[in-house]
Amino acid sequence: MFSFQPDRSEYPQPGLDGKLEIDLETGKYLKLWHGPNHPGITGNMSVELTVCGDEVVEGKTHVGYLHRGFEKLMERRTFIQVFPIVCRVCVPEPDFNEYCYAAAVEELAGIEVPELATWMRTLILEMGRFNSYMMFLGGIGGALGLGITGQWMTYVRDLMLDRFEELTGARIYHMFILPGGVRGHLPEGFAARMEEVLQTAETYLADVDKVMFANSVFQLRTKGIGVIEPALFEPYGVTGPNARAGGVAKDVRKDSPYLVYDQLDFEVATGMDSDIFTRAKVRRADIQTSIDLIRQILKKMPKDGPVMAKLPNVLHWKIPRGETYIKGECSRGEYGYYLVTDGSGYPRRINVRGPSYTHAMALLEHLIPGTNISDVAALMVSLHTYPPEIER
């Protein structure tokens, strides 16, 4: 097979410390902005690449295109007013923000959530995870020129958005999980309509297996590329599928079960090669897990009961001084909310811990040197980064 190897004798040599002295004046280096408007970029961020020939020698992540100051905004709002803001931190998987915030408030305020609400929350989170993975599969295909997977996955995601709409009244920002429980019950016939969506999804995913994962071009461009050495997992705070693809079965759903995950039967998908291909395969297996979990939840959940605890008068709701950290496993890894209260009617501090904060900043910048320009998009998408959770 033909493989193109650039003549590296023409390249500048690193110094004694192994580092390059990058001097743009020499004409041997070029600055290349990968984003913020680029088909291979997920969301509003950019990577400032320094390239030498077709090889990237340095990459710096730039964010701030979508900074809305949420953490500061929330300090000016009462606990109930914060609730409609949190979901807007992350567009593709907003429900995790709602769950983490609600659970943190409940813990500090001593509110017990009805059992049915915990099942409904788990259902919503798995539906959100499924949708987030649909965007991932479309994105990784798009980053490598396989546009059709993006179209298929957008269609399947849209079907799930229909289920979100009938359950919550909204398609993207659901505002369904609020402190105390959830806003409503399952509509009549919901389980049957969900089953139709899941079956359609499985049909399309079988096609993705053939068109993308079995595609030799896709395999050539993803196998052995963008490898994250497992030794980097702890220093760089790698969690979720990015760690699982390297053989470490990190999954908050198993490691520290929350909601009703201890009552559900599922295995955590892992891989060994820790490259772009394996990360995509792990996420593909995770989609099947989510589909199975949605079916299990709909089968096992209580059929009736309250879904909302009684809240105090939310206009005068004060929470005693305290702090807590609530976490869960979102589609990209560990997602968490750190909430500090000071006894007033407003949060003292809310900090959102999104997995992209480490994956797209320190880790991506560490992985980029030495890659080919054409692999940067796939590498970045394979880390499943969502910039809004970096800049909040």
Partner 1 sequence: MMRDLHALLTPRHALGPLEIRRENLAFVTLPASNLRGFLTELRDTQGFSHLVLLTAVDWLEEGQFQLTYMMNNRARDLTLGVRVMLDRTTAQMDSIHDLWPTAATYQRELKEMFGITFPGSPRLDEEFILEGWTDLPPYRRDFDSLAYSQQTYAERPGRVTHDPREYMKSKLYPGG
| Residue 363 CA: distances (Å) to CA of 108, 171, 232, 336, 357 | 34, 32, 8, 19, 9
- In the bound state with partner 1, the residue whose beta carbon lies nearer, of 170 and 314, is 314
- Within residues 179-238, the interface with partner 1 by CB under 8 A covers 234-237
Q: 369: left (phi > 0), else alpha (psi -120 to 50), else beta?
A: beta
Q: Which of 11, 81, 88, 292 binds partner 1 (CB under 8 A)?
A: 81
Q: State the minimum distance, in angstroms, from the CB of residue 313 to partner 1.
A: 7
What would the x/- binding string for partner 1 be over residues 244 to 263, using CB under 8 A?
A: ------x----xx-------
Which CB sits closer to partner 1, 53 or 257? 257
Paired tokens of 196: 């139709």
Contact call for residue 340 and partner 1 (CB under 8 A)? yes
Buried b (16+ CB within 10 A) or exposed e, 149-169: bbebbeebbebbbebbeebbe
For residues 128 and 95, is the Cβ–Cβ distance under 8 A?
yes
101 forms part of the interface with partner 1 (CB under 8 A): no
Smallest distance from the beta carbon of 324 to partner 1, in angstroms? 5
CB 168 within 8 A of CB 179: no
Q: How far is the CB of 174 from partner 1 (least distance, A)?
A: 20
Beta carbon of residue 111, minimum distance to partner 1 (angstroms, whole number): 14
72 binds partner 1 (CB under 8 A): yes
User: Does position 329 bind partner 1 by CB under 8 A?
Assistant: no
Smallest separation (angstroms) from partner 1 to the CB of 315:
6
281 residue type, one letter: K
> Which residue from 216, 310, 313, 370 is in contact with partner 1, where contact means CB under 8 A?
313
DSSP state of 111: P
* Among positions 314, 317, 318, 372, the unique one binding partner 1 when judged by CB under 8 A: 314
CB of 23 to partner 1, least distance (A): 19
> In the set 6, 14, 39, 69, which binds partner 1 (CB under 8 A)?
69
Q: Give Cα separations from 236 to 228, 232, 357, 360, 364 (angstroms).
A: 10, 6, 10, 11, 10
Q: Which stretch binds partner 1 (CB under 8 A): 48-56, 180-188, 220-228, 310-318?
A: 310-318
- CB neighbour class for 88 (10 Å; exposed up to 12, middle 13-18, buried from 19): middle
In sequence order, the 6+-apart residues with CB closer than 8 A to the CB of 186 are: 120, 167
Q: How far is the CB of 155 from partner 1 (least distance, A)?
A: 35
Please name which of 259, 256, 257, 254 lies closest in space to residue 118, comparing C-alpha atoms: 259
Instruction: Choose between 60 and 171: whose C-beta lies nearer to partner 1.
Output: 60
- Residue 309 is encoded by which pair of tokens? 């605890």
- The verdict on 351 binding partner 1 (CB under 8 A) reads yes
Nearer to partner 1, 298 or 314 (CB): 314
CA distances from 97 to 179, 249, 317 (A): 12, 23, 21
Q: Got the DSSP string for 266-294?
A: ------SS-SHHHHHHHHHHHHHHHHHHH
| List 91, 361, 369, 373, residue binding partner 1 (CB under 8 A) | 361
* Helix-helix angle 276-300:115-143, to 10 degrees: 150
Given the complex with partner 1, which of 195 and 234 has the nearer CB atom?
A: 234
Interface residues toward partner 1, by CB under 8 A? 63-64, 67, 69, 71-73, 75-76, 78, 80-81, 107, 234-237, 239, 250, 255-256, 313-315, 322-325, 327, 334, 336, 338, 340, 348-349, 351, 353, 357-358, 361-363, 366, 391
